[in-house]
Structure 1
Amino acid sequence: MSIINHLLQKMTAYYAGDPKRIHHFIKVHSFSKQIGELEQLDKSTQFVLEIASIVHDIGIKVAEEKYGKCHGKLQEEEGPAVAKDMLTVLGVDASIIARVCYLVGHHHTYAHIDGMDYQILIEADFLVNMFEDDFSKSAITATYGNIFKTASGKRICKNMYAIHEQESS
């Protein structure tokens, strides 16, 4: 079994009984994989992106247990350690784990995006969150204009949410 499939199984078990969280990371992974491939990421960056997209919200569970809430900054604080432990057990290379943990620890920080893996993770997460959180049309349009940078992410967002370029200008 591939590391990606093994990780999907581990995360499904991690969130056992919480289908909403399971659906979320599977959808974010699917969009991340698609955008990364369409943007022709190199194999290593694609691998990091896919792993990060699966574990990006891993801090939610710990944050809820510790603080009774799980807003973005708490996810960023609590997630990297849990992700590191899970990925280490799976035998993922330390340099990949370091980058994944960085992405998990910054996926709600939209300034100073330092790579395509980071950009695509944020875009994929927004594609899913805009639907799951029932964003208004104006919020979707603003997010499209402020967040989306990749040609593939923009195309998917425009098609999903029927955005016309003049709306986002």
Structure 2
Amino acid sequence: MNNVSKIMKKMIEYFEKDAVRINHALKVYAYAKSIGELEKISKEEQEALEISSILHDIGIKESERKYSSSAGIYQEIEGPPAAREIMAKFNLSEDIKERIEFLIGNHHTYSKIDGIDFQILVEADFLVNIFEENIQKEQTEIIEQKYFRTKTGKSFLNSIYQ
């Protein structure tokens, strides 16, 4: 069993009985994994992408406890320490851990997109959020123009929603 599967198991245990959050993370992971593979990103970027997609919302529980809010700003504050605690149990390089923490700590701050792994994480999260939040076609078109850059992400978006 690889680190990704083990970290997925830890995320499920962390969100115990919160099927909505668990399923959201699993859906984002599925899109992110596929987009990364189809875009042929590097092995290191793929590893950071897959783990960060599983853990991208890991800060929600602590955000709700501390701030009574799941707002993105609080997730970005609380997510990296929670992710680091989970990742500590696994044999990951310090560079990969730092990248994952950066992605989790900025995944709602689109102006900070600085690499293909970050771009794909954002696209995968939007692919799931559009459905979960029942975002209408007109708004989906704006999201595509503003935030989607990969050929695969755009293809998925258009095949599913447009």
Q: TM-score under structure 1 normalisation?
A: 0.94
CA distance in 1, matches of 2:139, 2:23: 23
1:159 and 2:159 matched:
yes
Per the alignment, residue 75 of structure 1 pairs with 75
The alignment-based identity, stated in percent, is 43
Distance 2:157 2:16 in 1: 30
Residue segments in structure 1 that go unaligned for 5+ positions in a row: 163-169
Q: Please tell me whether residue 103 in structure 1 is matched to residue 91 in structure 2.
A: no
What's the Cα RMSD here? 0.7
Under a length normalisation based on structure 2, what TM-score does the superposition of the two structures give? 0.98
Runs of 4+ in structure 1 deviating by more than 6 angstroms, as ranges, are none
SS in 2 for 1:111: helix
Q: Which residue of 2 aligns with 1:167?
A: none
Q: Is the counterpart of residue 88 in structure 1 residue 88 in structure 2? A: yes
CA distance in 1, matches of 2:8, 2:86: 11
Map Cα deviations across residues 28-71 of structure 1 (whole Å, 9 max, x no partner). Answer: 00000000001000111101100100000000010011111110
SS at match of 1:105: helix
Give the conservation status (yes or no) of the 8 Å contact 2:106–2:112: no
> Hey, what's the Cα distance between the residues in 1 that align with 2:125 and 2:6?
21
* Cα offsets for 1:59-108 (capped at 9, x unmatched): 00100111111100100011001101110122322111100000000000
Aligned equivalent of 1:13: 13
Tell me, in whole angstroms, the C-alpha distance in 2 between the residues paired with 1:8 and 1:112: 26
Provide the C-alpha distance between the structure 1 equivalents of 2:71 and 2:103, rounded to a whole number of angstroms. Answer: 16
SS of residue in 2 equivalent to 1:16: coil
2:112 aligned counterpart, secondary structure: coil
- Taking the aligned partners of 1:133 and 1:50, their CA distance within structure 2 comes to 23
Q: Which residue is 1:52 aligned to?
A: 52
C-alpha distance in structure 2 between counterparts of 1:134 and 1:158, whole Å:
15
What is the aligned partner in structure 1 of residue 124 from structure 2?
124
Q: Aligned partner of 1:96: which letter?
A: I
In structure 1, distance between residues paired with 2:151 and 2:43 = 19
Distance (Å, rounded) in 2 between the aligned partners of 1:118 and 1:31: 13
* Pairwise CA distance, 1:112: 3.3
Instruction: Give 5+ residue unaligned stretches, structure 2.
Output: none
The one-letter code matched in structure 1 to 2:79 is: G
Output the amino acid matched with 1:105.
Answer: G
Aligned to 2:138: 138
